[in-house]
Structure 1
Amino acid sequence: MTRPRHPGTLNRRHFLAAASAALLPAPALAQTGASDVEVVIIGGGAAGIAAARRIAEAKRSYVLLEASPRLGGRARTEDAFGLRVDLGAGGFARSEGTLAASAQGAGQTLIALPSGRRLFAHGREVRESAYDAFASALGTARRDMLTSVDGGKDIAAAQALANAPPPAKGTPGANGPWAATVAQFLGPLGCGRSLATLSALDLARRDAPPDDTTSPAGIGTLMEGLGAWLNVQKDAPVTLVTHGGRFHSVSVRGQRTPIRARAIVLAVPAPVLAAGAIRFNPGLPARLVTALRAIPAGHLEQVAFLLPGNPLALQPNEAVLTAAGTAPPALLRGRINGSDLHVLTFGDAPARTIAEKGAAAALPLARDWLRANFPTAEAVVSEVVASNWGQDPLVRGALSAALPGQGAQRRVFADTVQNRIFLAGEYVPVSGWGTLGGAWASGEAAATRALRLFGDGPA
């Protein structure tokens, strides 16, 4: 197995991209070395980076605390087979928030991803009529989930589809030929969990535009570049947040003196908060703890491998969905940046197995998927590199989706906590949850709310 290596020194392209971030105002903490700041941002993923940039632009003192040695959260670019690959977020929607504008303003290069996904069945691309049937079945499933919650009762997404009235003659319904593929696409491949464990309300309310933009250097590298010149402390896990009236005190492992702040942007993954990995004194409101536990993380893991010679006849960065069959469901990102590198994303039970057993489980899963869908390519794959989000204590899984009956809980995350704590992350948006762009936008929104404490912006 090829082990992922952490990025080393910046090359010329990365240096120039990072240097452009120096145009941001220098934070007061970096100038004074003081332990008191106006805003502490906890968590250095997309939401935390976005929040820190917004605070820096307002010329307020701040510090961004990241528990790991690198920024980016679940956006992480690794070395695999001598190439750079994202084993996490691989793109984002340009229309969702200001991430694209922020990246371009920082001198980062962006490229367009191919529109839509290619749909294959039995090793061949389906006909146009099958594309139409799949799109219709997907739309019907969303409509059935919305209809099921019209009366105010939130049920499991699987039950909502099973309870749907028979479709009109000639139209696809819950038992149509693409129903199983739609269920896999919305559940295990979309949220890392089966539809039986997902809230129909939460899933139907989700409005996540498809990814249409990426970075040729990798989304993880993009995130690190956007945070390169922020006032950051890495390897700085927060252990305790104490409410002290007009100030909060933030204790960091290995640092004797807590940091005092007038506001906190809490950009930590929901499952990490739900597990109590950070202590709060006084504790977080019971209503918030209940809401965090109501949106457990799904399981999504990426498996990278080489397919020399383009045996699947794909264009660079194309996405492929295959019809449901005997192999574990997966989504394929093919020919990363025109190379021989491909990435499969597995969800739910297969992803849990990969997280627990690593490449020993990832390799046979990848080969089984290829054997079932593209038999001629299966024999080529002899080595893989896999992610391990489910076992990472700073992440604890993939995106967070609500349990049946708990879809309304997501609105709780808009509340200010203890007057001065503002939540940010992919789990916070009511409709745009579970996306990189949504996480970025939530960080900017949390920072904007924090700045209002200082009279920056409308009350």
Structure 2
Amino acid sequence: MMSLPSSIDVAIIGAGAAGLGTAHALKNSGRSVIVLEARDRVGGRGHTIQAAPNVTFDLGCGWLHSADRNAFVKIADELNFEIDRTLPPWRERGYGKSFPPEERAEFFRALDEFFERIEKAAQSGRDSPANLYLEKGNRWNPMIDAISSYINGCETDRLSILDFDAYEDTGINWRVRRGYGALMAAYGASLPLALDCQVTLIDHSAKRLRIETSKGTLTADKVIVTVPTNLIADEAIRFSPALPEKVDAARGLPLGLADKVMLALDEPELLPADGNLRGATMRTEMGTYHLRPFAQPCIEGFFGGKFAQELEDAGDGAIAARAIDEIVSFLGNDFRRRLRPLKESRWAHDPFARGSYSHALPGHAGKRAVLAAPVDGRLFFAGEATSPHFFSTAHGAHDSGERAAREVMAALSFRDRA
């Protein structure tokens, strides 16, 4: 951990995937750089914990999405982190009688047809809420909304079809055996960091920018802001002069909510490794469960959207209690004694995240470019919400950090030539 300097060439706000990508890109630039992080750790919404001696748990991002285009795959190789290439259990390897194969097939047909209708509608260039493209009266609509809450952090009525269609997914999804958050922590270990350093104000009224933090004040030539949109929207970090267009863009790109819970599983041999458990549930208020990830003795549950918010608001332990009740309803009462809560995420109540990942509200798909645009060649923005095609992912955040670093270097080079 660095002590806070009084003056720096480039200050990076936030040590999540975007801030780390930015700092690494500037590492050999010949400029002085510091990363200011409000938490006592790096990684942001990537955080691995040891939930039990034999259970590793990614509280935040856990999948290397679009792994064939994901910068963290190469980073993992360089840092000797093992990549697990087992296929995700989302469609295949359904387990139990609660969601029979014929009903699973029917549901996935309905889901794919919904996605196809959105793709076709998006070709017009006109935005609208995704729920308009649910087939009227389809029995699977509530579950489609639940799936949207896992994918997007929100239900379909809050989802822009243009934004959803802009997302690029190669369909290759891998995992980091020791944890995605652990990989980010290792990636950030060599960087100039000031932890427990909460930024409250960025004053860009003078030639040099003044940054007020919980550890004092410093000035910088350039500042790169990589914090989640909800912090900008709530003005947890203030700008002077104010930047209403940035606040407006952030409010159009809110962080939805996707929470996880990890349950210890006694007699794990009773369930298959990397299986998927879900009910043929005709409601949106449902979880989905990854059985024994990495063959560990545990079950990982996922909840999203309004339901995840309700469970968070109900207090610590509510997500685990709901997950256990639902799993028991699928597998039988004998399983209640085999399940024990270990840890659950509560991203909406995390003061430095206030949600999980961004989605564009209907009519706001163009706000990603607005949020990403530099201000006056001195103030720059990165983060997953600024990624045009890989938003909501750690690698999208990382790549946006590299983009912001290039913008900073171009601005510095121009100044040096002037």
Normalising by the residue count of structure 1, what TM-score does the alignment of the two structures yield?
0.81
1-structure distance, mates of 2:294, 2:122: 42
Query: Residue type matched to 2:167 in 1?
Result: R
2-structure distance, mates of 1:238, 1:327: 38
2-structure distance, mates of 1:43, 1:359: 26
Query: Residue type matched to 2:146 in 1?
Result: Q
Query: Residue type matched to 1:84 in 2?
Result: T
2-structure distance, mates of 1:55, 1:106: 19
For residue 165 of structure 1, what is the aligned residue in structure 2? Answer: none
Q: Is the aligned partner of 1:308 residue 2:266?
A: yes
Task: Give the deviation of 1:327 after TM superposition.
Answer: 8.1
Deviations 1:372-398 (A, max 9, x none): 333353442243421111111100011
Among 72, 77, 80, the alignment partner of 2:43 is 72
Asked whether the 8 Å contact 1:154–1:201 carries over to 2, the reply is: yes
What are the equivalent positions in structure 2 for 1:49-448 lying under 5 Å apart?
49-82=20-53, 83-93=55-65, 94-115=67-88, 117=90, 118=92, 120=94, 123=97, 126-127=100-101, 133-162=106-135, 176=138, 178-185=140-147, 187-210=148-171, 212-255=173-216, 258-284=217-243, 286-310=244-268, 313-315=271-273, 317-318=274-275, 320=277, 322-325=279-282, 328-375=285-332, 377-448=335-406
1-structure distance, mates of 2:296, 2:95: 24
RMSD between aligned residues: 2.8
Task: Give the deviation of 1:332 after TM superposition.
Answer: 2.1
Query: Residue type matched to 1:214 in 2?
Result: R
Query: Residue type matched to 1:154 in 2?
Result: D
Asked whether the 8 Å contact 1:432–1:438 carries over to 2, the reply is: yes
Asked whether the 8 Å contact 1:184–1:329 carries over to 2, the reply is: yes
2-structure distance, mates of 1:358, 1:210: 35
Aligned-partner SS, 1:57:
coil
Of 218-227 and 374-383, the range deviating more from structure 2: 374-383
Normalising by the residue count of structure 2, what TM-score does the alignment of the two structures yield?
0.89
Task: Give the deviation of 1:279 after TM superposition.
Answer: 1.3
Query: Residue type matched to 2:375 in 1?
Result: V
Q: Which structure 2 segments of 5+ residues have no match? A: none
Aligned-partner SS, 1:192:
coil
What is the identity percentage for the equivalent residue pairs of Structure 1 and Structure 2?
26
Task: Give the deviation of 1:293 after TM superposition.
Answer: 0.6
1-structure distance, mates of 2:214, 2:172: 37
Asked whether the 8 Å contact 2:139–2:282 carries over to 1, the reply is: no
Q: Which structure 1 segments of 5+ residues have no match? A: 1-28, 163-173
Task: Give the deviation of 1:119 after TM superposition.
Answer: 5.8
Of 239-248 and 260-269, the range deviating more from structure 2: 239-248
Matched positions, count: 411
Query: Residue type matched to 2:182 in 1?
Result: T
Asked whether the 8 Å contact 1:314–1:334 carries over to 2, the reply is: yes
Deviations 1:65-120 (A, max 9, x none): 10010111111112323333111111212223422112322333332242452364
Of 224-233 and 260-269, the range deviating more from structure 2: 260-269
2-structure distance, mates of 1:297, 1:236: 23
Aligned-partner SS, 1:64:
strand
For residue 42 of structure 1, what is the aligned residue in structure 2? Answer: 13
Query: Residue type matched to 1:248 in 2?
Result: L
2-structure distance, mates of 1:116, 1:148: 29
Query: Residue type matched to 1:235 in 2?
Result: D
